[in-house]
Amino acid sequence: MVNMIKNDKLKQTSIYIIGLILFAYGLLAINYFVYIGLGSEAFWVCYLALILIGFGAFIGNKTLVESQLIIITAPVLVWLIDFFYRLVFAQSLWGITDYFFTNLLPLSRFISLEHFFILPLGYLLWWLMPGRASWAGLLASSEILLIWVSSYLFTKPEFNVNCVFQSCLSFIPTNSFYSFYSLLIVLVIILVGILIINIIKRLKR
C-alpha cells in the first residue's frame, strides 16, 4: 500500500512537472512574439497546444490533453521528417523547416525547438494521466476549425500562420482551390491523430 501511494505521488508529480514545462514554454513563445510585434505568430497551433496540454495536466483533464495530441501529431511529425532530411542531405524536402536554417533570432530558434519535445512529453503526460478521454476527437475537430478561421481572420497573410493563406508543403499547390485543399488537410490531420492515439491505446492495454 505504501509503495502504491509513493508511485501515485511520483506519477502525479511527474504529470505536474511535464505540464509546467509545456505550459511555460507555450507562454514564453506567445509572449515573446507579442513583445517583438509579431502577434500573428502567437496563433501557431503548436504554441496553443503547449499551453492547453499544460493546463490539461494542471486540472487533470485527459480529454483536453488528448485533443491537443490529435491536432499536433501529424503536423509535428511532418516538421521533423522535413528537418532531419534537410539536416542529413543538406537540401530542402518540403520546405517547412527552411526557416530554421536561416539567420533566426536566438530566442526564435530556441522556441522552435519545441517541435522536438512536444510529442514525447505530451504522450508521456497522456500515458501517465489516469482515466479515459471522452469526445477528444470532437473537441480536436472543433478547435482546429476555430484556429483555422481565427488564423484567417486575425493574422497577416505574409506570416501564413497555420498555412491558411498558402501551402506550406512544396507538393501542394497554392491556387484558387487552396482553401478547399487546406480544409482537406485539416481533416487528414485529425484522422491521423485519432489513428495514432488509438494505436497507442491498444498498446497500453
Instruction: List C-alpha distances in Å: 138 to 42, 70, 104, 109, 202.
Output: 24, 10, 37, 33, 20
Q: Which residues touch 201 (CB under 8 Å, ≥6 apart)?
A: none
For residue 86, pLDDT over 80 is answered with yes
* Domains identified in the chain, total number: 1
Dump pLDDT digits (tens) for 141-191.
999 999 999 999 999 899 999 999 999 888 888 888 888 888 889 999 999
Dump pLDDT digits (tens) for 98-157.
999 988 889 999 999 999 999 999 999 999 998 888 899 999 999 999 999 999 999 989
Q: Which residues touch 192 (CB under 8 Å, ≥6 apart)?
A: 73, 74
- Compute, in degrees rounded to 10, the torsion defined by CA atoms 157, 163, 165, 169: 120
For residue 69, pLDDT over 50 is answered with yes
Cell (9 digits) for 161: 500562420
Per-residue confidence band for 54, with pLDDT thresholds at 50, 70 and 90: very high
Q: What is the pLDDT of residue 5?
A: 41
For residue 64, pLDDT over 60 is answered with yes
Per-residue confidence band for 4, with pLDDT thresholds at 50, 70 and 90: very low
For residue 2, pLDDT over 50 is answered with no
CA 140-13-130 angle, to 5 degrees, is 45
For residue 205, pLDDT over 80 is answered with no
Query: In terms of residue numbers, what domain contains 50?
Result: 2-204
